[in-house]
Amino acid sequence: MKLAAFVSGLALVACALDLENGLMKAPPMGWLAWERFRCNTDCKTDPDNCISEKLFVDMIDRLADDGWKELGYVYVNIDDCWMAKKRDTSGKLIPDPERFPSGIKALADYAHSRGLKLGIYGDMGNYTCCGYPGTTLDRVEQDALTFAEWGVDMLKLDGCYSSEDEQAQGYPKMAMALNATGRPIAYSCSWPAYQGGLPPKVNYTLLANICNLWRNYGDIQDSWRSVLDIVDWFSANQDVLQPVAGPGHWNDPDMLIIGNFGLSDEQSRSQMALWTVLAAPLFMSTDLRTLSRSSREILQNRLMIKINQDPLGLQGRRVLRVQKSKSHIEVFLRPLSHSASALVFLSRRTDMPYRYTTSLSKLNFSASAVYEAQDVYSGGIISGLKAGENFTVIVNPSGVVMWYLYPTITLM
């Protein structure tokens, strides 16, 4: 009897800790302010680009009117620098009154009226990374209630200005507090990024129970070098990271920077393909008001999005790395539902388009099928592929060829 009571007590504790919001069965998609708009609070000289309700209303309108929402890009997420420098007299977080005169609830209502969701940013610690009021341990419940009262749909909880111990208490505490509000609020945890991103310091089993997504690694910057640095870190640690992702709980390599200043079109196609193979959240951080046609085509590629959102929710892996291939072509593979796969050939060359020849057998595909591939960017179909037969793809410097590959005939 006693033991049974003890066990059911344990189960209760475990249940209370779980983030049971049922959200994000596929990687979340939307828009996040940080990489492109940072902490620009100077609305006097830069009214169109400062962190203000105007910026978010503009992005809500673009997402709703320009075909994004229908493709799944539904989150509009505020990052740092939205707050007033001090809490109000009751200790409640408040937005900067000049930059957000209508308040966050009005913004959430507007997002909802346009069929979108609103995300907000907080920080487990004394201050946000940019020095705005943080959520100390004693404020966790109050802030969760505030976000729920405003009708917020997602919280990114950063980890500046807190100790390891405060983070270990605070992140699970916020998961419980969000659950307790009764409002489904997706929860993005920056915790692992502050603890080096790897076990034993990071407990991914716990994270998968309490967070819908988590930042594992440093911030993306507007450059190809930054994209490669992130891809290399995720690939080097894929044995740890790949198994912990799945429906409802995702690794987050950070925002898409497509549409900004640091990537060529080739590199933009590469970031989109690699994030998709990583089953990564697709949060664009770019100015949707001035996006070029080519960036839009990359971000709105339907087959790409279908692959990213695949219901199996398996993260892919780098199956061939550059040190082992003199060609300087790397190969990434993500298994998909219906025995399909996504294959990405990435060129790390800096000379000219490279003709890369390989076969599906060399990439460990079974010889008991005949395959067909659709090129995700060109739309071209390659049929009648036998595993043992060589094929050649032409990959541009810092570009990719991406295939959606599926068996058409199973051989006896």
Q: Active-site positions?
A: 158, 219
What is the SS3 assignment for 29? Answer: strand
Which range binds ligand GLA by CB under 6 A, 5-13, 97-105, 126-134, 389-397?
Answer: 126-134
Q: How far is the CB of 230 from ligand GLA (least distance, A)?
A: 12
Residue whose CB is less far from ligand GLA, 220 or 273:
220
Residue whose CB is less far from ligand GLA, 77 or 270:
77
Q: What's the burial of 321, exposed, middle or buried (CB within 10 Å: 0-12/13-18/19+)?
A: middle
Residue 118 bridge partners (DSSP): 76
* DSSP code per residue over 302-365: HHHHHHHT-TT----EEEE-GGG-TT-EEEEEEE-STT-EEEEEEE--SSS-EEEEEETTTTT-
Does residue number 53 form part of the binding site for ligand GLA (CB under 6 A)? no
Does residue number 214 form part of the binding site for ligand GLA (CB under 6 A)? no
Does residue number 403 form part of the binding site for ligand GLA (CB under 6 A)? no
Q: Please list the alpha-helical segments (H only) found in 39-196.
A: 53-65, 68-71, 103-113, 140-150, 164-181, 191-194
- Tokens at 33, concatenated: 């302010």
Does residue number 129 form part of the binding site for ligand GLA (CB under 6 A)? yes
Does residue number 34 form part of the binding site for ligand GLA (CB under 6 A)? yes
Nearest to 36 by CA among 188, 219, 299: 219
Residue whose CB is less far from ligand GLA, 51 or 387:
51
Distance CA 175, CA 185 (A): 9
Residue whose CB is less far from ligand GLA, 50 or 400:
50
Residue whose CB is less far from ligand GLA, 260 or 341:
260
Which range binds ligand GLA by CB under 6 A, 67-75, 125-133, 325-333, 401-409?
Answer: 125-133
Which range binds ligand GLA by CB under 6 A, 8-16, 18-26, 128-136, 176-184?
Answer: 128-136
Q: How far is the CB of 383 from ligand GLA (least distance, A)?
A: 43
Residue holding tokens 């006097």?
A: 44
Distance CA 398, CA 268 (A): 9
Does residue number 80 form part of the binding site for ligand GLA (CB under 6 A)? yes
Residue holding tokens 């997402």?
A: 63
Does residue number 363 form part of the binding site for ligand GLA (CB under 6 A)? no
Residue whose CB is less far from ligand GLA, 259 or 313:
259
Among 190, 251, 308, 374, binds ligand GLA (CB under 6 A): 190
- Tokens at 287, concatenated: 């100015």
With CB under 6 A, what is the number of residues at the site for ligand GLA? 9
Among 53, 79, 143, 252, binds ligand GLA (CB under 6 A): 79
Which range binds ligand GLA by CB under 6 A, 2-10, 70-78, 124-132, 319-327?
Answer: 124-132
Residue whose CB is less far from ligand GLA, 79 or 143:
79
Q: What's the burial of 95, exposed, middle or buried (CB within 10 Å: 0-12/13-18/19+)?
A: buried
Which range binds ligand GLA by CB under 6 A, 122-130, 336-344, 360-368, 386-394?
Answer: 122-130
Site string for ligand GLA, 143-162 (x = CB under 6 A): ---------------x----
Q: How far is the CB of 412 from ligand GLA (least distance, A)?
A: 53
Under 8 Å between Cβ of 35 and 222: yes
- Tokens at 366, concatenated: 């079974």
Nearest to 373 by CA among 391, 361, 355: 391
Nearest to 188 by CA among 159, 220, 168, 149: 159
Residues in the site for ligand GLA, rule: CB under 6 A? 34, 79-80, 128-130, 158, 190, 219
